[in-house]
Amino acid sequence: MDIIIVGCGKVGATLAEQLCSEGHNIVMVDISAKRLQSTANALDIMGVVGNGASYTVLQDAGVAQANLLIAVTGSDELNLLCCLIAKKAGSCHTIARVRNPIYSKELHFIRQQMGISMIINPELTAASEIARILRFPSAIKIDAFAKGRVELHKVKLLPSFSLDGLSVASAIRKLKCNILICGVERGKHVYIPNGTFTLQNNDMLSVMGAPKDISAFFRKIGMETHQVKNAMIIGGGGIGFYLARLLRESNIEVRIVELDDSRCQQLAELLPDVTVLNGDGIDQQFLLSEGLPNAEAFVTLTNLDEENLLLALFAQKHSSAKVVAKVNRLTFHDVIDSLDIDSIIYPKYLTADYILRYVRAMQNTIGSNVETLYHILDDRAEALEFSVRTPSEITDIPLADLKLKDNLLICYINRGGRIFLPGGTDQIQVGDTVIVVTTVPGLQDIRDILA
């Protein structure tokens, strides 16, 4: 597809990289020639210097032929205006990033009245991800499929689980759980395991199943399955605000630590049932005196990655809290992984994944498309949910008779709301949604699972 991305920041550059890798034609628009040149040269794509809300600039970018325009500049209003002009100048779909909480209750109206295909709020997306983790703190990361009927949990294999040296099949038999181990991270390597694959302590497992079956799995290996009762959040910015609001909706007690006086007053007015503490989040004595040792969850959301990571390590040392740290940059990815922090949230990847799902859904060639997409296994594999809407060479044939791509696993089939782990005699039928995990990038249609 022909796609225009307006805004060459962290999210824009990440989107361009992922969409280029899938064979789309990308044109980037940004007012900064230096920033634009760096990204355009690295990805070998076309760049147009200028204001994305300018009709002339969008014409130069090819809006008349574009299938999609994505506006991810730092200004909500500019993003909305870019989409509005693109709709008038061409017939493309449009996606706008809108971050200001002022618009949060008006997004449906804005989308309908302006004809925007999708509006995404990165802060709300990140907060929703963190809230989901805190409702199930045993997991490092949680992704949902089939409208929540299937979940994918990432968990570290600890010696206390007594699964070291067992094959995947033996581990499942021992635990008597209706779950699927569909991915393993071991050091720098990732695997899509079969039943004979041997597990080792400190492996990162991606476990898929219905929520009740996932809960049973965690109970049997001795991990907590209930949501936290209280949380301490460091940083009262956009993510902190949305997270506090979501946690209160789940009756979780929340304390926010924020340094800026005026922001504290705003938060106190917007969140009357949240305790807002005016203080320095990196003051160790302040944190200890304000309840860190008794916190069940500790979330670091400052604007400095280094600060977030150090605070997370401090919290792990002085409490038994579930620790979540926000990281914006990935310069030292290997170092961050080695810190062994409970959960790391990358807002720009969450936003990019959300948009990428929409892009893939647009590529509806035979009536089958990607309903859901997540990058997993250290972003070296994908978990996808395909909707099967028309007959094809993969339907009504026993799975054992299908020649599938290597490093690809059909995990679950959702048939009319009934979720099941398919066996070799099961068949994919029209109307199903099919959940697949693979290290093969860029699958765009259910037929792509075939070798």
Taking 90 as the threshold, does the pLDDT of residue 312 lie above it? yes
Taking 80 as the threshold, does the pLDDT of residue 338 lie above it? no
* DSSP letter, residue 403: -
CA dist 32 and 277 (Å) reads 38
CA dist 323 and 342 (Å) reads 5
Which pLDDT value is given to residue 336?
A: 77
Which pLDDT value is given to residue 148?
A: 78
Edge to edge, the sheet with strand 408-415 lists 369-376, 381-387, 433-438, 408-415, 418-420
Taking 50 as the threshold, does the pLDDT of residue 426 lie above it? yes
CA dist 297 and 228 (Å) reads 7
Taking 90 as the threshold, does the pLDDT of residue 401 lie above it? yes
Quote the tokens at residue 26: 């990308």
CA dist 330 and 334 (Å) reads 9
Residues 118 and 95: beta-carbon distance below 8 Å: yes
Give the 3-state secondary structure of residue 300.
Answer: strand
Quote the tokens at residue 57: 């600039």
Taking 80 as the threshold, does the pLDDT of residue 382 lie above it? yes
182-217 in b/e form (b: 16+ CB < 10 A) is bbbbeeeebebbeeebebeeebbbbbbbbbebbbbb
Residue type, 179: I
Poorest-pLDDT segment among 182-196, 217-231, 299-313, 389-403: 217-231
pLDDT band at 438 (very low <50, low <70, confident <90, very high): very high
Which pLDDT value is given to residue 368?
A: 44
Which pLDDT value is given to residue 10?
A: 85
Poorest-pLDDT segment among 104-108, 282-286, 316-320: 104-108
Closest CA to 436 of 409, 417, 418, 413: 409
Q: In the predicted model, what is the mean pLDDT of residues 399-408?
A: 94
Beta strands in 56-213 (DSSP E): 68-71, 93-97, 118-120, 141-145, 150-156, 180-186, 189-191, 204-209
Q: In the predicted model, what is the mean pLDDT of residues 226-234?
A: 92
Helix (H) or strand (E) segment spanning residue 47: strand 46-49
CA dist 306 and 304 (Å) reads 5
Which pLDDT value is given to residue 293?
A: 95
Which pLDDT value is given to residue 36?
A: 92
pLDDT by residue (tens digit) across 90-131?
Answer: 889 999 999 888 887 787 788 888 888 889 988 998 998 899
pLDDT band at 330 (very low <50, low <70, confident <90, very high): low
pLDDT band at 366 (very low <50, low <70, confident <90, very high): very low
Per-chain mean pLDDT for the chain: 90
CA dist 408 and 391 (Å) reads 21
Quote the tokens at residue 212: 């009740």
Q: In the predicted model, what is the mean pLDDT of residues 374-386?
A: 85
CA dist 158 and 160 (Å) reads 5
Which pLDDT value is given to residue 99?
A: 87
pLDDT band at 374 (very low <50, low <70, confident <90, very high): confident
Which pLDDT value is given to residue 313?
A: 95
Taking 70 as the threshold, does the pLDDT of residue 63 lie above it? yes
Taking 60 as the threshold, does the pLDDT of residue 392 lie above it? yes
Helix (H) or strand (E) segment spanning residue 247: helix 238-249
pLDDT by residue (tens digit) across 164-221?
Answer: 999 999 999 999 988 999 999 998 899 999 999 999 999 999 999 988 898 889 889 8
Residue type, 242: Y
- What percent of the chain has pLDDT above 90? 61
Quote the tokens at residue 208: 């898929």
Paired with 143 in beta bridges are 152
pLDDT band at 288 (very low <50, low <70, confident <90, very high): very high
Beta strands in 225-339 (DSSP E): 230-234, 253-258, 275-278, 297-300, 322-326
Q: What domains can be seen in the chain, in order of their start residue?
A: 2-120 (3.40.50.720), 138-220 (3.30.70.1450), 230-345 (3.40.50.720), 363-449 (3.30.70.1450)
Taking 90 as the threshold, does the pLDDT of residue 274 lie above it? yes
The residue to which tokens 């600039």 are assigned: 57
pLDDT band at 365 (very low <50, low <70, confident <90, very high): very low
